[in-house]
Amino acid sequence: MSDLFIHLFDSAYRQRNDIETLRLDAEVDADNISHLRRRLDLTEARLDRAELVIEAMFVYLENQELMNRDTLAMLIREVDGLDGKVDGRAGVKPTEG
């Protein structure tokens, strides 16, 4: 009976239990943050690479006198509006062909 009394009313026991629960939760949170940071780093690397490739392609087109920055800006606005809203995002998938 006294074990039950200690378990139900011992605030130090409950505090230790709460602390252990919080410690375990913090470990899980740290693992999740670490995983998300790795994913963010990979996404940033992919974005950096995509920006480099796009800029290289544009420079090539510009050097071949096939396109200039004004034409590119016009085309970007046109493609941006294909989904019905000009918001700086591609809301429709590129056409296949």
For the cut 60, the answer to whether the pLDDT of residue 19 exceeds it is yes
For the chain, give the percent of residues with pLDDT over 90.
Answer: 66
77 contacts 86 by C-beta, under 8 angstroms: yes
For the cut 70, the answer to whether the pLDDT of residue 26 exceeds it is yes
Q: Specify the residue for token string 């009394």.
A: 5
Q: Give the pLDDT of residue 10.
A: 73
How far is 63 from 57, CA to CA, in rounded Å? 10
Arithmetic mean of pLDDT, 55-69: 95
What does pLDDT average to over the chain? 88
The b/e string for 9-32 (b: 16+ C-beta within 10 A; e otherwise) is: eeeeeeeeeeeeeeeeeeeeeeee
Higher pLDDT among residues 45 and 93, named by residue? 45
